[in-house]
Structure 1
Amino acid sequence: MKVSVTDKFLWDVYNFLENVNSAAGFMFKAPTMRNWLPGEENPIFKKYKKEKGRREFNNLIYYLKRRGYLKVKNLESRHGMIITKLGISKALRASFKLGKAKKRKDGKWAMLIFDIPQKHRKSRDLLRSILLNLGYELFQQSVWVTPYDVSEKTEKLLQTHSLDRYVKIFLIEELS
């Protein structure tokens, strides 16, 4: 499956942030600081600027800002990028496209059940698209299953979009 440059870039940025945060052993207190990237000295930016050229890289950043995946901020008198909730969501969905879907080693299936009120219809539609992108299949109305090991990604996306309170995830032995 071919992955767009946008998806690949967002996944690389997200992956970089996850590695930096876990290596540092702490999370920044301000929610925006956790997703902050220093502008010019960022290794991801340098890599893409070298691969794509300055003009194409600038077009990519402009596109990502226009679509709401990145925001430019001045933090401590330095330019930096912040990856938004929308950007994190797109990055996690892209990670599933980038990697070969691996089935769970124990042979169990993940079952996800949700009950989102009608007044939150947009959230329900968003959840369905997330589940499809992660390889879930509709089992019954509001019940989705997958043999793939995507529990971590699912939980991150649910937390990112504040949907975790409407969702229950189970591990099951088999489907009947």
Structure 2
Amino acid sequence: MLVYPKGRNTKPPVEKKIAETILGALVIGTTLAAGPIAGTAGFFIAVGAEHLLFRKRDFSRETKRLQKQGYIALTKTDKGLILKILAKGRERYRQMEIAKLKISKPDHWDGKWRLFIFDVPEQYRSARDMMRTKMKDLGLYNIQRSVLVYPYDCRSALEQIAEYYELAKYATYVETNFIDIDRELRRHFKV
């Protein structure tokens, strides 16, 4: 992965976009059509109704890299290449999805607090700590070691994170209108 210094262009490299497109399409079972465009050095990928254009060289390099890393399998046929996602590729795609996960904030707060409570056995400490860190990165506030709070709807994102770390059975999501530290939380979240 390329890392850009601060102040420089922080757009993701073309290869990352190609990898996300390929893995994403294969994970959801979409037919992935790819081929050259006549008269250009371009290469297109059709994912459903979306068509993306990449340089053929970039596409070829990225598919070979994904194959070498064990994310996809490439099979040559008389009609072209067939790409198939492997288990390692599915896992890599899940990692990419969790890494770019965001919680949207509505314009107005509905007055409800969302609590995420978990009681994870010590044997899963590493996963628990990573889950807690990810949730804090998303803006949740720790009111106790295993209780986090957020003012906006975040259920699907939190469930997705708990499932990713395989800790969903140890977690509970609660929505409430009352919490005794309301003033502190309003000040923290500026609501």
TM-score tier after normalising by the smaller chain length: 0.5 to 0.7
| TM score, norm. by length of structure 2 | 0.57
Q: Cα RMSD over matched residues?
A: 3.9
Letter in structure 2 aligned against 1:154: L
Letter in structure 1 aligned against 2:104: A
Bigger CA drift: 56-65 or 145-154? Answer: 56-65
- Aligned pairs for 1:98-109 (under 5 A) are 101-103=104-106, 106-109=110-113
Query: Does the 8 A contact of 2:18 with 2:62 survive in 1?
Result: no
Counterpart selection for 1:116 from 93, 116, 120: 120
Equivalent position of 2:93 in the other structure: 87
- Aligned pairs for 1:11-50 (under 5 A) are 14=24, 35-41=28-34, 43-44=46-47, 47-48=51-52, 50=53
The answer to which structure has the higher strand fraction is 2
Q: CA 1:105/1:157 → structure 2, altered by over 3 Å: closer, same or farther?
A: same
User: Highest Rg: 1 or 2?
Assistant: 2
Counterpart selection for 1:139 from 137, 143, 148: 143
The answer to which structure has the higher helix fraction is 1
Q: CA 1:80/1:38 → structure 2, altered by over 3 Å: closer, same or farther?
A: farther
Distance 1:116 1:167 in 2: 8
Equivalent position of 1:151 in the other structure: 155
Query: Does the 8 A contact of 2:30 with 2:47 survive in 1?
Result: no
| TM score, norm. by length of structure 1 | 0.61
Deviation of 1:170 (Å): 0.5
- Aligned pairs for 1:63-74 (under 5 A) are 71-73=71-73
Letter in structure 2 aligned against 1:54: K
Q: CA 1:152/1:44 → structure 2, altered by over 3 Å: closer, same or farther?
A: same
> Is 1:56 paired with 2:58?
yes
Equivalent position of 1:166 in the other structure: 170
Any gaps of 5 or more consecutive residues in structure 2? 1-9, 35-44, 182-191
Any gaps of 5 or more consecutive residues in structure 1? 18-33
Number of aligned pairs? Answer: 150
Where relative contact order (Cα < 8 A, 6+ residues apart) is larger, the structure is: 1
